[in-house]
Amino acid sequence: MSYLNILSRAAKSPVIDYHLRLLKNPKFRHNFFNKTIVDILTDLNALEEVLSDFECRYAPLSSEMIYHAYMHGEEPEDDGFVSDFGEWAGAYRIWLSCLSEYEDEMKKLSQQLPQIKESLLLAA
């Protein structure tokens, strides 16, 4: 499955869904919230659904376990699982990258918190 296919699947993670609604709401939109955060949250949302699908299908295995095995060169014994194994590990790797980007953007945003508070007070 390609990266675009993975991202085309929308998930319903409550936390990410909340942040997306908040960031897309014009009442709360400020120049401090850039499109990057919304894009990253959208990507995380879609990736979480893909990972959840794999975890449901191959329970009790977790995405973290599969990624760890993949990164250490382990291969599944069942040939029918090889394709999903690589796809699952790849989706998890992309998810980790997106999560890191999200954390970086949130750190930047938290440094701007005093300006955001002042902007909210002036807008009220």
Q: Residue 92's pLDDT is what?
A: 92
Torsion of the alpha carbons at 88, 104, 35 and 32, rounded to the nearest 10: 160
Q: Residue 2's pLDDT is what?
A: 38
Q: Are 10 and 49 in contact (CB under 8 A)?
A: yes
Q: Residue 115's pLDDT is what?
A: 78
Environment class of 53 (CB within 10 Å of its CB; exposed 0-12, middle 13-18, buried 19+): middle
Q: Residue 51's pLDDT is what?
A: 92
Q: Does pTM surpass 0.75?
A: no
Collect the ranges in the chain with pLDDT lower than 70: 1-35, 123-124
Q: Residue 10's pLDDT is what?
A: 39
Q: Residue 65's pLDDT is what?
A: 93
